[in-house]
């Protein structure tokens, strides 16, 4: 097959240039060549002595379809006519030592359902998208000044088909027995998201992975969305339907390391082609970010999700392990040329990644799951930052969960666990996560972290969720948090939806729906997340009562006062300073239903100085209660 000059030039440049759409050239593409339909196969394997394509179309005979080496950079290609969509294939590589191995296509767009490992030929351009209105609107989207309320989901365990027993040998029964397909789950999930007022979903990694128990974080197929839940077109339907409902979609992505399964990237052509150092705990290989081909492979992969799947953002997993040669662990096994553990090439990769993404997709969410104190994670690359626009606020999450886990009698001694977060609130553009990682491995579910009686647990969790929704920063909660599930998340079981048959769980579910809706409606809770003028403490020092009070501002006439009482002690009259004279409405009380008052209740200010304000109001404040208060607008406003 004679390739076009532009294709040859691109492939020649792959090993030294910035080729960020490499998925258009590598892999298996259904094309017309010389009036014949077929598939063009292209592979990078510079150290292989020979490569052949084997598959269901040639009875897996490794002698029929030998690939041609295109150039000295190790790019192989072959056009095979008459191959149809759905055919399975692999590459057979002859290694320098004479051995041979069979590898899945690194650029495969679809894969066999595990435990099978073959790649599958598919045409990604056949789906008819219906989200043009959403795509046009998002061009002007600014994540930093918009409400972002994310529902984090693992598709395989959000819900499963009736009578499924996922503890069976998963590898003996394929996905139809257990999982709803992408299409099937769309019809359940999207109405639920709308009902609960989440405006984004973040899906745990969908890239093909061999082991369900890895949750998708040990990847073998970066361009292949897992076949557990159906075809690429089925996933496109899910995303398309989300967009038609004005719900954004974020992919969880793992560009730091890959798993060691033989059919994957490990020692792909008999040499460490993609491979960097070993992770001592995860049993994975770090990517070698020094190689331009590896950077092209990964940055093209990010672009691929935006282009082919219309996603709205990426959560980059394990950023610390990319930044640090020793993965952020307490050792110094590896050092760079300057004698420290910073991975200079990993840093450069992240900057290159974010520069390219925002150049092409300025509306994108690029969120870093970064657990260290690395500076300027969300600063622009031109200002010496890494270039992300959001960073998970892991310190806030850890401090908050530690605080709510304490007996209320001892919380006054750890008051700073709540107040400290505001000391560095604007050092990055933070996202506040209560993610899947916090409800597994013996950490307990969110409600089970809370001490006290059955009722106290629910009251404390309501307080916690109100604290999250009113604290500066975007929001994320893992599925199950919204129904106060008592057991930890198990990837092989669905959420315990039956809990909604119980009054306490149903009321909590309604509470989450209420504050989610309030969050989307009130600009004071999101417009100025990253501005000093968006937040003001009323009283940050009331450790003796474990009561926190602060203001979230949109402007001087539009603000919300937040009062959080983290002890069971209540007060018939609790006085609090307010910034302006007038009438204030009790907007929400966590302890009383309906949570948003149907009968409007106003409190008038008094000229009694309090908390450095000239005016104050008096309200009743029950134990373990949160209250939201909003000033009545004047006529001119």
Same domain, 397 and 321: yes
Same domain, 424 and 335: yes
**CA distance linking residue 316 with residue 28, whole number of Å:** 27
Same domain, 155 and 86: no
Q: Which of 525, 550, 565 finishes a domain?
A: 525
pLDDT averaged over 10-residue windows placed end to end, the chain, 637 residues? 78 90 96 87 97 97 95 94 95 95 98 95 96 97 97 94 55 57 96 98 97 93 96 98 98 96 95 92 92 97 98 97 88 85 95 98 97 95 97 97 96 97 95 97 97 97 98 98 97 93 97 97 97 97 97 96 98 97 95 65 94 96 97 72
Q: Give a yes or no: residue 238 inside a domain.
A: no
433-466 burial code (b ≥16 CB/10 A, e <16)? bbbbbbbbeeebbbbbbbeeeeeebbbbbbbbbb
> CATH no. for residue 615?
2.60.40.1180
Same domain, 520 and 539: no
Considering the candidates 131, 252, 275, 369, report the single residue annotated as catalytic. Answer: 369
Same domain, 503 and 622: no
Under 8 Å between Cβ of 72 and 59:
no
Q: Which residue range forms the structural domain that includes residue 614?
A: 532-631
**Phi, psi at 437, each rounded to 5°:** -65, -20
pLDDT of residue 172: 39
Q: Is 501 helix (H, G, I), strand (E, B) or coil?
A: helix
Q: Give a yes or no: residue 242 inside a domain.
A: no
pLDDT of residue 22: 96
**Phi, psi at 475, each rounded to 5°:** -120, 145
Considering the candidates 87, 105, 317, 529, report the single residue annotated as catalytic. Answer: 317
**317 in active site:** yes
Q: Give a yes or no: residue 20 inside a domain.
A: yes
Structure-block tokens of residue 73: 């950079």
Cis ω before 594 (30° cut-off from 0)? yes
199-215 burial code (b ≥16 CB/10 A, e <16)? bbbbbbbbbbbbbbebb
Other residues' Cβ atoms within 10 Å of the Cβ of residue 531: 13
Q: Give a yes or no: residue 589 inside a domain.
A: yes
Same domain, 509 and 536: no
Name 53's bridge partners: 91
Q: Give a yes or no: residue 129 inside a domain.
A: no
Q: Is 350 helix (H, G, I), strand (E, B) or coil?
A: helix
**CA distance linking residue 466 with residue 448, whole number of Å:** 17
Q: Give a yes or no: residue 128 inside a domain.
A: no
Same domain, 268 and 361: yes
Q: In this structure, what DSSP letter does residue 334 have?
A: -
**CA distance linking residue 105 with residue 463, whole number of Å:** 49
Q: Give a yes or no: residue 329 inside a domain.
A: yes
Structure-block tokens of residue 17: 């240039």
Find tokens 């492979």 and name the residue. 297
Same domain, 509 and 553: no
pLDDT of residue 636: 56
Cis ω before 249 (30° cut-off from 0)? no
pLDDT of residue 599: 64
Same domain, 113 and 161: no
Q: Which residues contact 544 (CB under 8 A, 6 or more apart)?
A: 412
Q: Is 532 helix (H, G, I), strand (E, B) or coil?
A: helix
Name 40's bridge partners: 29, 79
> In the chain, how many domains are there?
3
Q: Which of 490, 525, 560 finishes a domain?
A: 525
**Phi, psi at 134, each rounded to 5°:** -65, -45
**307 in active site:** no
**CA distance linking residue 600 with residue 51, whole number of Å:** 75
- Percentages helix, strand, coil for the chain (3-state, rounded to 5) are 30, 25, 45
Q: Give a yes or no: residue 606 inside a domain.
A: yes
Same domain, 276 and 292: yes
Q: Which residues contact 88 (CB under 8 A, 6 or more apart)?
A: 55, 56, 112, 118, 119, 120, 121
Q: Which of 56, 86, 120 finishes a domain?
A: 120
Q: In this structure, what DSSP letter does residue 488 have?
A: P
> CATH no. for residue 398?
3.20.20.80
Name 631's bridge partners: 584
pTM comes to 0.95
Find tokens 């409606």 and name the residue. 521
Same domain, 488 and 558: no
Same domain, 170 and 68: no
To 5 degrees, how large is the angle CA 312–CA 250–CA 138? Answer: 20
């Amino acid at each position: 097959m004679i390739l076009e000059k532009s294709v040859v030039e691109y492939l020649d440049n792959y090993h030294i240039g910035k080729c960020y759409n490499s998925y258009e050239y590598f892999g298996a593409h259904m094309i017309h060549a010389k009036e014949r339909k077929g598939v063009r196969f292209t592979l990078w394997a510079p150290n292989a002595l020979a490569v052949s394509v084997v598959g269901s179309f040639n009875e897996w005979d490794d002698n029929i379809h030998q690939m041609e080496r295109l150039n000295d950079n190790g790019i192989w290609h072959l056009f095979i006519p008459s191959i149809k969509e759905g055919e399975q294939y692999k590459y057979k590589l002859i290694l320098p030592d004479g051995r041979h191995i069979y590898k899945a296509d690194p650029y495969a767009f679809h894969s066999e359902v595990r435990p099978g490992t073959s790649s599958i030929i598919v045409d990604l351009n056949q789906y008819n998208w219906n989200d043009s209105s959403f795509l046009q609107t998002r061009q002007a989207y600014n994540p930093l000044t918009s409400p972002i309320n994310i529902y984090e989901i693992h598709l395989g365990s959000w819900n499963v088909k009736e009578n499924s027993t996922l503890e069976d040998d998963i590898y003996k029964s394929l996905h139809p027995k257990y999982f709803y397909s992408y299409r099937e789950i769309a019809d359940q999930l999207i109405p639920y998201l709308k009902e609960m007022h989440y405006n984004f979903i973040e899906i745990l990694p969908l890239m093909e992975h061999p082991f369900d128990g890895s949750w998708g974080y040990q990847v073998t197929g970066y361009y292949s969305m897992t076949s557990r839940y159906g075809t690429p077109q089925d996933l496109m339907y899910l995303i398309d339907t989300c967009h038609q409902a004005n719900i954004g979609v974020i992919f969880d992505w793992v560009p730091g390391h890959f798993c060691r399964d033989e059919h994957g990237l490990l020692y792909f052509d008999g040499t460490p082609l993609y491979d960097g150092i070993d992770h001592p705990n995860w049993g994975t290989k770090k990517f070698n970010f020094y190689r331009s081909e590896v950077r092209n492979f990964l940055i093209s992969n990010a672009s691929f999700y935006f282009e082919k799947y219309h996603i709205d953002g990426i959560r980059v997993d394990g950023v610390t392990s990319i930044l640090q040669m020793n993965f952020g662990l307490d050792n110094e096994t590896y050092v760079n040329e300057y004698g420290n553990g910073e991975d200079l090439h990993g840093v450069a990769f992240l900057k290159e990644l974010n520069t390219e993404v925002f150049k092409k997709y300025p509306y994108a969410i690029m969120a870093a799951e970064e657990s260290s104190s690395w500076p300027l994670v969300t600063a622009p690359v031109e200002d010496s930052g890494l270039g992300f626009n959001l960073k998970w606020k892991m310190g806030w999450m850890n401090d908050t969960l530690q605080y709510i886990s304490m007996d209320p009698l001892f919380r006054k001694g750890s008051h700073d666990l709540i107040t400290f977060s505001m000391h560095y609130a604007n050092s990055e553009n933070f996202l506040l996560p209560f993610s899947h990682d916090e409800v597994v491995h013996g950490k307990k579910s969110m409600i089970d972290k809370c001490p006290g009686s059955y009722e106290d647990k629910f009251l404390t969790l309501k307080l916690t969720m109100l604290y999250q929704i009113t604290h500066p920063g975007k929001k994320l909660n893992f599925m199950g948090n919204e129904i106060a599930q008592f057991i930890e998340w198990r990837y092989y079981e669905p959420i315990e939806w039956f809990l909604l048959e119980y009054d306490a769980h149903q009321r909590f579910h309604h509470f989450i729906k209420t504050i989610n809706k309030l969050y989307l409606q009130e600009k004071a809770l999101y417009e100025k997340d990253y501005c000093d003028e968006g937040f003001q403490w009323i009283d940050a020092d009331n450790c003796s009562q474990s009561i926190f009070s602060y203001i979230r501002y949109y402007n001087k006439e539009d603000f919300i006062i937040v009062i959080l009482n983290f002890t069971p002690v209540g007060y018939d009259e609790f006085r609090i300073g307010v910034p302006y004279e007038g009438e204030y409405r009790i907007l929400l009380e966590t302890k009383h239903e309906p949570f948003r008052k149907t009968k409007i209740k106003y409190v008038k200010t008094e000229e009694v100085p309090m908390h450095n304000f000239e005016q104050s109001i008096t309200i009743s404040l029950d134990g373990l209660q949160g209250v939201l208060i909003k000033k009545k607008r004047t006529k001119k406003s």
